[in-house]
């Protein structure tokens, strides 16, 4: 036998003698291999048990330390809640005094300062108060919903610097920015669908009758666009530069006979034309995706000289001509007397758009000059102002004449860009409808 083979054989013989077994050398070697395997398994099991015991000990120590830290934090929180820590709240006496003074304003002064009557203000608090109310903590008393709304309306009405508003209302500068965003979002999320919607049912019939009284038939609203000034954005500033040379976003809106907005679409860069903005709006998709191509119920259409005249919107020359969107004839064409009368009548009925934009910007001056709010927030600010405009109009909260004086632009900087006529119109069904209305205007008005 070789020397390396004598070791296992000798160990097997010794093991057999210790156990009192009389085994042949071959079986003795197998018993020894089995013994070595079991010994290895026992050592591995002991190692695992040691590791598990160490893990449980570390987990116990970690939980014990966490319990001690949480107990210390609870004790400190209890102690600080019973003391007045000036480090958490800065004393802002001037702002607190102004807000206390504002509470004593009469109705006229309240409306001058916040652009709404006190009754409308309280109604707004009732509508969005739960959404802008904040929970009381151990560190400070939260700002009440009424002051939050007052701060936001003040910013809408003047678009002042956050620092000046913070001093007036006794809050921090960052708090003003946060409150304006929160209240704006609450107005849009909670009130937009309630106060901004296309007319339907009895309201649609009332709208058609009102425009008929303005000598234009089958009209459910007028559509227009205006530019809202913004500060120069960081990303793609040239896209927001309009024809007048100042940065803006576009507000496209539909207005009814009562100078209320029934559809609002805002946020496109100022260099975009009206037709491109319209084609990307939900209003356009709603009309074009319908099989009949009508925006309003077809049963309200009129039949004149074999041509079906649907209920439609009216716009200026910058919009495309559609069966659901009529516009006047361009002055560059040789127009007949009937076409001139149609164009004049449509423009007169469409004047509600200019009135609505004038009141919107006159009341909420944040839409009249550049604001320091982030551009991504501007569409929601515009939508919130339109909601507040509708709420005031519906509640009879009148527009003061002096507000329109404030709308006069300084120099030529904020003058609106000129309207560019849309050149993509072709002879189609919409042209037939327009000709039928133009040459049978008096007949259609008699229905």
Do residues 191 and 209 share a domain?
A: no
Out of 166, 195, 224, pick the residue that ends a domain: 195
The C-alpha atoms of residue 193 and residue 264 are separated, in whole angstroms, by: 11
**In this model, does residue 218 exceed pLDDT 70?**
yes
Is-contact 158 366, C-beta < 8 A?
yes
Do residues 242 and 326 share a domain?
A: yes
Q: What share of the chain is helix, strand, coil (3-state, %, to 5)?
A: 55, 10, 35
Do residues 361 and 300 share a domain?
A: yes
**In this model, does residue 319 exceed pLDDT 90?**
yes
Do residues 306 and 440 share a domain?
A: yes
Identify which of 136-150, 188-202, 407-421 has the greatest average pLDDT: 188-202
| Residue 36 domain-assigned (yes or no) | no
Do residues 332 and 369 share a domain?
A: yes
Do residues 277 and 374 share a domain?
A: yes
Do residues 209 and 256 share a domain?
A: yes
| Residue 298 domain-assigned (yes or no) | yes
User: 25 pLDDT band (50/70/90 cuts)?
Assistant: low
* Percentage of the chain exceeding pLDDT 70: 85
User: Is 366 strand, coil or helix?
Assistant: helix
Residue 81: per-residue pLDDT: 56
Q: How many domains does the chain have?
A: 2
Average per-residue pLDDT for the chain: 86
Is-contact 146 156, C-beta < 8 A?
no
DSSP state of 398: P
Do residues 255 and 350 share a domain?
A: yes
Do residues 136 and 242 share a domain?
A: no
Closest CA to 182 of 148, 157, 211, 215: 148
Out of 150, 178, 195, pick the residue that ends a domain: 195
Q: pLDDT (tens digit, 9 = 90+) per residue, 384-431?
A: 999 999 999 999 999 998 888 665 555 445 789 998 899 888 888 999
**In this model, does residue 95 exceed pLDDT 60?**
no
Q: What range defines the domain where residue 180 resides? A: 93-195
Is-contact 110 117, C-beta < 8 A?
yes
Residue 434: per-residue pLDDT: 96
CA angle (403, 406, 411) in 5-degree steps: 160
The C-alpha atoms of residue 373 and residue 369 are separated, in whole angstroms, by: 12
Do residues 324 and 346 share a domain?
A: yes
Do residues 131 and 243 share a domain?
A: no
Chain CA centroid to CA 82, Å: 40
- Paired with 128 in beta bridges are none
User: 32 pLDDT band (50/70/90 cuts)?
Assistant: low
| Residue 371 domain-assigned (yes or no) | yes
| Residue 308 domain-assigned (yes or no) | yes
Residue 15: per-residue pLDDT: 52
The C-alpha atoms of residue 80 and residue 29 are separated, in whole angstroms, by: 77
Top pLDDT among 100 and 205 is at 205
| Residue 386 domain-assigned (yes or no) | yes
Identify which of 155-159, 246-250, 327-331 has the greatest average pLDDT: 246-250
| Residue 41 domain-assigned (yes or no) | no
Average pLDDT estimate for 292-307: 89
Helix axes 3-19, 25-81, angle to 10 degrees: 80
Residue 4: per-residue pLDDT: 47
Out of 72-81, 270-279, 345-354, 379-388, least confident range:
72-81
Average pLDDT estimate for 248-261: 97
For every residue of 306-342, DSSP letters joined together read TEEE--EEEE-TTSPPBTTEEEPPPTTS---HHHHHH
pTM of the model: 0.77
**In this model, does residue 34 exceed pLDDT 90?**
no
Q: pLDDT (tens digit, 9 = 90+) per residue, 96-114?
A: 567 888 888 888 999 999 9
User: 307 pLDDT band (50/70/90 cuts)?
Assistant: very high
Is-contact 38 15, C-beta < 8 A?
no
Residue 27: per-residue pLDDT: 57
Is-contact 215 349, C-beta < 8 A?
yes
Do residues 255 and 157 share a domain?
A: no
Out of 164, 195, 226, pick the residue that ends a domain: 195
Longest alpha-carbon distance in the chain: 132
Q: pLDDT (tens digit, 9 = 90+) per residue, 224-250?
A: 999 999 999 988 899 999 999 999 999
User: 39 pLDDT band (50/70/90 cuts)?
Assistant: confident
Residue 53: per-residue pLDDT: 87
Beta 302-304 vs 261-269: how paired, if at all? unpaired
| Residue 79 domain-assigned (yes or no) | no
């Amino acid at each position: 036998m070789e020397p390396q083979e004598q070791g296992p054989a000798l160990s097997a013989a010794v093991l057999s003698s210790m156990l009192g077994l009389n085994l042949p050398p071959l079986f003795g070697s197998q018993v020894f291999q089995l013994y070595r395997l079991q010994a290895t398994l026992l050592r591995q099991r002991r190692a695992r048990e040691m590791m598990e015991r160490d893990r449980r000990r570390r987990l116990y120590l970690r939980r014990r330390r966490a319990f001690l830290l949480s107990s210390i934090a609870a004790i400190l929180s209890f102690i600080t809640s019973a003391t007045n820590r000036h480090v958490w709240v800065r004393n802002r006496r001037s702002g607190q005094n102004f807000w206390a003074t504002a509470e004593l304003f009469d109705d006229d002064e309240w409306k001058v300062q916040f652009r709404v009557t006190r009754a409308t203000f309280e109604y707004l608090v009732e509508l969005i108060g739960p959404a802008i109310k904040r929970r009381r903590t151990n560190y400070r008393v939260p700002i009440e919903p009424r002051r939050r709304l007052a701060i936001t309306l003040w910013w809408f009405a003047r678009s002042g610097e956050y620092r000046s508003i913070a001093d007036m209302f006794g809050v921090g500068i960052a708090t003003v920015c946060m409150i304006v965003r929160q209240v704006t979002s609450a107005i849009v999320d909670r009130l937009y669908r309630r106060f901004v919607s296309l007319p339907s049912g009895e309201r649609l019939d009332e709208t058609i009758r009102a425009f008929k009284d303005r000598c234009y038939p089958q009209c459910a609203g007028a559509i227009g666009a205006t530019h809202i000034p913004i500060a120069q954005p960081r990303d793609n500033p040239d896209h927001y530069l309009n024809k007048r040379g100042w940065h803006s976003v576009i507000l496209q809106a539909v207005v009814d006979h009562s100078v209320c907005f029934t559809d609002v679409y805002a946020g496109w860069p100022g260099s975009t034309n009206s037709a491109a903005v319209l084609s990307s709006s939900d209003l356009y998709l709603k009309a074009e995706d319908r099989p009949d191509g009508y925006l309003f119920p077809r049963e309200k259409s009129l039949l004149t000289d074999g041509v079906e005249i649907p209920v439609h919107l009216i716009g200026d020359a910058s919009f495309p001509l559609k069966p659901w969107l009529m516009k006047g004839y361009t002055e560059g064409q040789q127009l007949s007397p009937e076409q001139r009368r149609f164009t004049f009548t449509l423009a007169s009925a469409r004047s509600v758009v200019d009135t609505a934009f004038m009141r919107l910007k006159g009341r909420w001056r944040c839409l009249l000059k550049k604001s320091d709010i982030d551009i991504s927030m501007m569409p929601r600010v515009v939508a919130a102002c339109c909601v507040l405009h509708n709420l005031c109009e519906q509640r009879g909260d009148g527009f003061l004449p002096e507000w329109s004086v404030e709308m006069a632009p300084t120099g030529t900087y904020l003058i609106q860009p000129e309207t560019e006529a849309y050149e993509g119109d072709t002879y189609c069904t919409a042209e037939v409808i327009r000709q039928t209305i133009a040459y049978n205007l008096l007949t259609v008005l008699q229905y």
